[in-house]
Amino acid sequence: MTRTLQLYLAALLLALAAASPVFPAFFGLPGTRSQNKPIPGDSPLEQCDADDKQLLTIQLVNLLPNPPVRGENVTVSAAGHVKETIKEGAYVDVEVRLGYIKLLTQTYDLCEELEKNDVGGLKCPIAPGDYKIDKTVEIPQEVPPGKYTVLARAYTEDDDEITCLSGDIFFPSY
Ligand SMILES: *[C@@H]1O[C@H](CO)[C@@H](O)[C@H](O)[C@H]1NC(C)=O
């Protein structure tokens, strides 16, 4: 289950990254330092660390359907603007909780994940500019029901923040 979650998260992250590059994550964790700001569009995602300088401006994120449903496809559409080139060595720290239980804390190689998951053909280096992406992923029926809280922070190889995403997704038990 941790694995299916990881895949799901990785796909979502990639989609965002593609759209603008970066994406990291979702959902606001209570008790973290982040200042959250809504992201335009129909999704549970917010921008966290919103008062800090970030290389990626996310202009729009839509999930269809929102919220996503277990055993069904979800399409992530995102648009964003990249201010500085994102190169090999960029990484994403992802944290996932189910209720109060920490399910996953993991660092992913951003460029590697983009290659593996084909997010709109995005590849490092990602030049400055505007990006739009669409990515469809299937949410496995095996994902346990519950309220998931996701936090993702992406950084360049020099540890400059690319983006911070947070959000909550609730999967009912039926
Ligand atoms: C999800 O989309 C893929 C590709 O479009 C399709 O093959 C698959 O059957 C879809 N899955 C569901 C559960 O609708």
Domain extent at residue 122: 3-169
Answer yes or no: is 108 within a domain: yes
Distance of CA 159 to the CA centre of its chain: 18
For residue 87, what are the contacts with CB-CB under 8 A and spacing of at least 6? 111, 124, 125, 156, 157
The rounded distance, in Å, linking the Cα atoms of 92 and 158 is 13
Answer yes or no: is 117 within a domain: yes
Q: Is any atom of ligand 1 closer than 6 Å to the C-beta of 65?
A: no
Q: Is any atom of ligand 1 closer than 6 Å to the C-beta of 72?
A: yes
pLDDT score for 28: 44
pLDDT score for 123: 95
Number of the ligand 1 atom closest to the C-alpha atom of 72: 13
Answer yes or no: is 146 within a domain: yes
- Per the structure, the count of domains in the chain is 1
Span from the CA of 62 to the centroid of ligand 1 (angstroms): 18
| Cβ atoms 5, 96 nearer than 8 A | yes
Answer yes or no: is 150 within a domain: yes
Answer yes or no: is 79 within a domain: yes
Answer yes or no: is 55 within a domain: yes
Model pTM score: 0.79
pLDDT score for 2: 62
Span from the CA of 138 to the centroid of ligand 1 (angstroms): 7
3-state SS, residue 55 = coil
In this predicted model, what pLDDT tens digit does every residue of 39-96 receive, in sequence order? 999 999 999 999 999 999 999 999 999 999 999 999 999 999 999 999 999 999 999 9
In this predicted model, what pLDDT tens digit does every residue of 114-146 receive, in sequence order? 999 999 889 999 999 999 999 999 999 999 999
pLDDT score for 50: 95
CATH number of the domain at 81, please: 2.70.220.10
Answer yes or no: is 174 within a domain: no
For residue 1, is pLDDT > 60? no
